[in-house]
Structure formats: C-alpha cells, structure tokens
Amino acid sequence: MGSLASAIKRSLLWDYPRASWQYDVMVAVILLFIFATPRDWFRDQPRASSVVMLPATHGSLQAFWIEPALLDSVPEAQRPARVAAMLKARMQRQVHIIRVDPISDSEKELRGFIAYATP
C-alpha cells in the first residue's frame, strides 16, 4: 500500500526524472487526454461570426445577419448608425444602412437582426 501511495504522490507532484518510463507514461496519458477527449465535454465549439454577410436577394441591396447581443441595448433609432460603424470597422469601407429589422422566432424571442445596406 505504501508503494502505491508513493507512486500516486510522485505522479501528482511530477517527481519522475525525464526519460524515465514513468515520465513517458505520464506524457502519453496527457497527450491521450488532449487528443481523445470530445470537444463537447467542455462545450468548446467553434463559434460563428457575430456579423455575417448574406447573399443578395433584393437586387443591389446587401444583407447582413447581426447577433442580437451586439444591438440589444441600442435604441431602435440608433441601430443603423451603430451597424454602419461596425461594418466600416470590419470591412474597411463605408456602407449606407437603409434599415435594420429584428428577427424573432415563433415564441417572439429575439434571434438577431438583419441590416440592409447599399454598397
């Protein structure tokens, strides 16, 4: 029992010399954990961009999907100016925002905004 406790203590304190078989086993266990652990265990999923350019559907108008968190606290009258500033910072060019429409689901919960702009 004493040798098992000693081995656990040495493992926790990383007390084995480099190039020993115990050190190699600990490194292999760590690498196995890193590469074999599913991403969803830690909810580490790739996140979509908060502003996405959508395909043009209304002639020459450009449409942009905007995450709700970016415009939630912005008053409705100031939304076009805020979106224009965000797009100018991201695209490095000026766009003129015509309107910003909120998008809600069937339970009337806000899911995002669509901004329409002219190039």
Mind listing the pLDDT tens digit for each residue in 80-93?
999 998 888 888 88
Distance CA 30, CA 36 (A): 10
Question: What is the reported pTM?
Answer: 0.56
Tokens 């429409």: give the residue: 101
DSSP 56: P
The predicted-structure confidence for 3-31, as pLDDT tens digits, reads as follows 888 888 887 888 888 889 989 998 999 99
Task: Give the DSSP H/E element, type plus range, for residue 48.
Answer: none
Q: What is the pLDDT of residues 45-67, one digit of tens each?
A: 666 668 888 887 656 788 888 89
The neighbouring-strand residues paired with 99 are 116
Dihedral in degrees, nearest 10, Cα atoms 43, 49, 51, 56: -120
